[in-house]
Structure 1
Amino acid sequence: MTLTEIAEVVGARIVGPDGGDARPEEGELVVDAPVVTDSREVTPGALYVARVGETTDGHRFVPAARDAGAVASLTTRPVKGAVCLVVDDVQEAFVALSRHVVDTLAAPERGSEALVVVGITGSSGKTSTKDLLAHVLRGSGETVAPVGSLNSEVGVPLTVCRVTGATRFLVVEMGARGIGHIEYLTRIAPPRIAAVLNVGTAHVGEFGSRANIARAKSEIVAALPSAADGGVAVLTADDDAVRAMSALTPAEVVLVGRAADADLRAIDVRLDDAARPSFTVVAGTEQVPVVLPLHGVHHVANALTVLAVARACGVDLAEAAARLRDAVPESRWRMEVSTTPGGVTVVNDAYNANPDSAAAALEALVAMSAGRRTWAVLGAMLELGDESDAEHARTGALARDLGVHRVVAVGETARPVADGAAGGGTETTWVPDVDAAEELIRRDTRPGDVVLLKSSRDAGLRFLGDRVTGRTDTAPTEAPSC
């Protein structure tokens, strides 16, 4: 798009490097690289969005963006030496640009070339499911999906503005930190197909109740077009709160899960000695084997959602299942399995945590141990409100009941984990911080041990995993949302 076209969409005034109105030739400059909010990610042809955050003002970095090749910057004031699209509200202009892109590329008159927008939400598993779905859909056409967990009012427009005229599928992860957040995201990128994975207790301290979390999640299916207009809602049949959303959407409903009435149902679920699941998916009279390369039985539910969405996108069920066989983890710190030089297996699942995802990780740890010693290094699960101590204690008790050999609670918030795990044959330890946990792991683990790291992002255990395994790569992240 030219700067003149963008200005018309977002209601901007184009300002030249001297602070006055841009010359006609500056209005004809073309943005043909991704839109970014981090000046360090600018590539030639980009548009830089100068957001004002809690700790810094993006306008400070407009010169750096210009030097890196940005065609222009979206700002609320002119910045000397740079071409700027000046607006009253950068966020609303960013949203308007994103919506224009979606409306243009998803227009019905584009026929078979129209962009298909898929929205995914859930209390846990959004990012893993998004990665699996993007892998499957890439076999049928150009697919754009979020990098890492870009699922907020900033992450969604960043993802949208990566699409091109050749993009066939746009997969959008949608998170929430309150009622109305997902509805806002659906106005940025209106989905034709949407999936709700589960309703758990993540961020219950902010939402107030699981019922409020369910209400927030239901906003994604309420925003779908009708079944007659191609709308499809993929809902987990095994979660009562998700199943109930069938009554809240005008779209066609596809139930997935292990329930007998699920439209796509998993039977004969098995785990190999590395806790990698396989199963048979049943869809009417069709039965197709599915083998997953990921660790943990919880990925069965994620895979069923992927298969249902892929079918709604026109992918044959057997073909979608075949593509799942060679999927690999694309986002960091989600059941990321590595082996240290000393022969210790480290399962780094510490990007985010809530009681449900912690339980799934602990079950996977035990399933993949094959008789080896197991460690559960558990940090804080944040935003659980008044139930925080009780939920941490329950997680510790679950680790003990599953037979985990050693439980290490890291940090003051996680101290109840050690209390809950006490008793039986489980050795329990509390340490004050990540440094103490690292010292303990390096000193007391031995070859063959399997060590799970699980915590909310801000507890820092994901970086402990990197330190122990020697990994140095990182990934774009946002604060986790439900």
Structure 2
Amino acid sequence: MIALTLDRIAEITRTRIRGSARPDATVTGPVVVDSRQAGPGSLFVALGGERADGHDFAGAAVAAGAAAVLGSRPVEAPQLLADGGDDGVVAALGRLGRAVADGVTAAGADIVGVTGSSGKTTTKDLLAQVLGGLGPVVAPAGSFNNEIGHPLTVLRADEGTRFVVLEKAARGIGHIAHLCTIAPPRIGVVLNVGSAHMGEFGGREAIAQAKGELVEALPAADEGGVAVLNADDDAVRAMASRTAARVVTYGRGADADVRARDVELDGAGRARFTLEMNGGSAPVRLAVVGEHQVHNALAVAAVAAEFGMDAAAAAEALAQAGPLSRWRMEVDELDDGTTVVNDAYNANPESMAAALRTLGAIAERRRSFAVLGAMAELGGEARGAHEEAGRLAASLGVDGLIVVGQEAAPIADGAAGTAGWHGEAVAVPDAAGAVEALRTRLRPKDVVLVKGSRVAGLEKVAEKVAEGLTASGKDAQ
């Protein structure tokens, strides 16, 4: 973080200095919401939580070296006091993030924003690694992509930062626009418009409206703004009319500015293709799993080109960029030859289809099992989307479906109604039931996919399989 005194932070955040706080005390970072992460010179942000109130840990944060506590109720510690409860604290945090964003961009940093219905985290991780070869990068860990995670990430930047790569999520109209006010991006990447959060948004058109707020926030072309758009997604391609920035397209079609041709998957489900951009071409072998990663890689290459990378340099950097965030197409090869694909972080119809196709590509002549949980927040589309997932699994020849939870039950119905499928569909109530179902079915050299929305907690199933299913199923609870 750029070092700031408490009186300067109070001015930026519109808070009041109180308690034993010294106006000239300096916050050097990090800014944290977990008191266990506090250290010398840090700023502890106290928020109310479902299980605990951060204000109760103010003393522990200061004892660990925090310079002050930013909170909404008085505590016995050096404090910056915000009005308006947690909302007021979050607003103050956003103002501080904006001040630091302005400071690092004035020092020469570029801010890149990434959004889309799926693939945001993986693309952000790949982009951070590729740009890391050009200079220091700040990017969020995992999916730190909301009104709290966004400023916390920006606040890790300092005068030496060259790139800030930010993931932008939305739960409704206006959310991405707000995130862009905290850290205004110069380059914006839109990956896709899918069905994630359909129940909250009410339709794909509303999702497209929300995702397009990113390109609307970009500077004009003559000010350096660049919108990187997926040419293979009609809803994304249409966003070109919503931005004053220069538009760069990527995709598998011949008319994309950055494109992939001759795409193939190897036996481990990793893509190989020829990257074409800026008049050059180079072969790419990705280290991440799934054909859907081709589009993520192309988006990264398009951004890399904006910073001077040619096709060969981008291809080399992409080949070295691996998965960073947990439970997103993690592949474990066990000693007995079993392959476990853990994609349990989240699920929507598009990511579910991509995961199932990856399972089919990896399995080939091996037996395959899919442990599938519900896809959340689909509203009235839920039953049909789950049935379609089941039909796809059956059409790909999955040998066993283990469907977890009542909301996911239509997956089994879709598979059972698919002509010619001779696999087995088993319904279980929870992760522990899935472990027990696998215990009696798995054999060495089988391939297992674990996929579902985060609330299902299916990563526990993948962990048990990776351990060899030696423990009791109750351990998965």
TM-score range, shorter chain: over 0.9
Q: Does 1:90 align with 2:89?
A: yes
Report the Cα distance in structure 2 between the residues aligned to 1:76 and 1:276, rounded to whole angstroms.
Answer: 49
Q: Does 1:445 align with 2:448?
A: no
Pairwise CA distance, 1:165? 1.1
Partner of 2:322: 328
Q: Does 1:8 align with 2:8?
A: no
Partner of 2:101: 102
Q: Does 1:428 align with 2:422?
A: no
| Native 8 Å contact 2:277 2:310 kept in 1 | no
Once structures 1 and 2 are overlaid, which stretch shifts more, 136-145 or 30-39? Answer: 30-39
Secondary structure in 2 matching 1:292:
strand
Partner of 2:29: 33
Partner of 1:479: none
Listed as ranges, the matches of 1:166-181 within 5 Å are 166-181=160-175
Listed as ranges, the matches of 1:212-223 within 5 Å are 212-223=206-217
Q: Does 1:346 align with 2:340?
A: yes
Secondary structure in 2 matching 1:256:
strand
Question: Tell me, which stretches of 5 or more residues in structure 2 are unaligned?
Answer: 469-477
Partner of 1:76: 72
Report the Cα distance in structure 1 between the residues aligned to 2:18 and 2:414, rounded to whole angstroms.
Answer: 61
Structure with larger RCO (C-alpha < 8 A, sep 6+): 1
Report the Cα distance in structure 1 between the residues aligned to 2:349 and 2:178, rounded to whole angstroms.
Answer: 27
Pairwise CA distance, 1:343? 3.3
One-letter amino acid of the structure 2 residue matched with residue 460 of structure 1: G
Secondary structure in 2 matching 1:27:
coil
Partner of 1:462: 459
Secondary structure in 1 matching 2:449:
strand
Q: Does 1:126 align with 2:120?
A: yes
| Native 8 Å contact 1:73 1:85 kept in 2 | yes
Pairwise CA distance, 1:38? 1.2
| Native 8 Å contact 1:152 1:174 kept in 2 | yes
Secondary structure in 2 matching 1:262:
coil
Partner of 1:360: 354
Secondary structure in 2 matching 1:48:
strand
Partner of 2:60: 64
| Native 8 Å contact 1:6 1:97 kept in 2 | yes
Partner of 2:368: 374
Partner of 1:309: 303
Secondary structure in 1 matching 2:118:
coil
Listed as ranges, the matches of 1:188-227 within 5 Å are 188-227=182-221
Once structures 1 and 2 are overlaid, which stretch shifts more, 417-426 or 235-244? Answer: 417-426
Question: Tell me, which stretches of 5 or more residues in structure 1 are unaligned?
Answer: 472-482
Pairwise CA distance, 1:341? 4.5
Report the Cα distance in structure 2 between the residues aligned to 1:293 and 1:213, rounded to whole angstroms.
Answer: 30
One-letter amino acid of the structure 1 residue matched with residue 388 of structure 2: R
Partner of 2:471: none
Secondary structure in 2 matching 1:325:
helix
One-letter amino acid of the structure 1 residue matched with residue 73 of structure 2: R
Secondary structure in 1 matching 2:426:
strand
Listed as ranges, the matches of 1:231-242 within 5 Å are 231-242=225-236
1:147-188 CA-partner distances (Å, limit 9, x unpaired): 000000111011011111111000000000101010010011
| Native 8 Å contact 2:275 2:311 kept in 1 | no
Report the Cα distance in structure 2 between the residues aligned to 1:403 and 1:388, rounded to whole angstroms.
Answer: 23
Partner of 1:253: 247
Report the Cα distance in structure 2 between the residues aligned to 1:76 and 1:427, rounded to whole angstroms.
Answer: 55
Pairwise CA distance, 1:253? 0.3
Partner of 2:152: 158
| Native 8 Å contact 2:195 2:378 kept in 1 | yes
Pairwise CA distance, 1:284? 4.3
Pairwise CA distance, 1:55? 4.6
| Native 8 Å contact 1:343 1:446 kept in 2 | no
Report the Cα distance in structure 2 between the residues aligned to 1:230 and 1:67, rounded to whole angstroms.
Answer: 45
Pairwise CA distance, 1:72? 0.7
**Which one of 412, 418, 423 corresponds to residue 418 of structure 1?**
412
Please report the TM-score for the alignment, with normalisation by the length of structure 2: 0.94
Report the Cα distance in structure 2 between the residues aligned to 1:268 and 1:452, rounded to whole angstroms.
Answer: 26
Report the Cα distance in structure 1 between the residues aligned to 2:464 and 2:171, rounded to whole angstroms.
Answer: 30
Partner of 2:475: none
What is the aligned-residue RMSD (CA, Å)? 1.3
Report the Cα distance in structure 2 between the residues aligned to 1:464 and 1:44, rounded to whole angstroms.
Answer: 39
Pairwise CA distance, 1:285? 2.5
| Native 8 Å contact 1:119 1:174 kept in 2 | yes
Pairwise CA distance, 1:399? 0.2
One-letter amino acid of the structure 2 residue matched with residue 441 of structure 1: L
One-letter amino acid of the structure 1 residue matched with residue 71 of structure 2: T
Partner of 2:263: 269
| Native 8 Å contact 2:269 2:289 kept in 1 | yes
Secondary structure in 1 matching 2:212:
helix
Report the Cα distance in structure 2 between the residues aligned to 1:199 and 1:55, rounded to whole angstroms.
Answer: 34
Report the Cα distance in structure 1 between the residues aligned to 2:339 and 2:383, rounded to whole angstroms.
Answer: 29
Secondary structure in 1 matching 2:26:
coil
Secondary structure in 1 matching 2:382:
helix
Paired residues, number: 458
| Native 8 Å contact 2:196 2:349 kept in 1 | yes
| Native 8 Å contact 2:402 2:437 kept in 1 | no
Pairwise CA distance, 1:342? 4.0
Secondary structure in 2 matching 1:293:
strand
One-letter amino acid of the structure 2 residue matched with residue 78 of structure 1: P
Moved over 6 A (4+): none
Report the Cα distance in structure 2 between the residues aligned to 1:43 and 1:345, rounded to whole angstroms.
Answer: 41
Secondary structure in 2 matching 1:119:
strand
| Native 8 Å contact 1:106 1:116 kept in 2 | yes
Secondary structure in 2 matching 1:106:
helix
Report the Cα distance in structure 1 between the residues aligned to 2:432 and 2:40, rounded to whole angstroms.
Answer: 41
One-letter amino acid of the structure 2 residue matched with residue 454 of structure 1: K
One-letter amino acid of the structure 2 residue matched with residue 322 of structure 1: E
Secondary structure in 1 matching 2:434:
helix
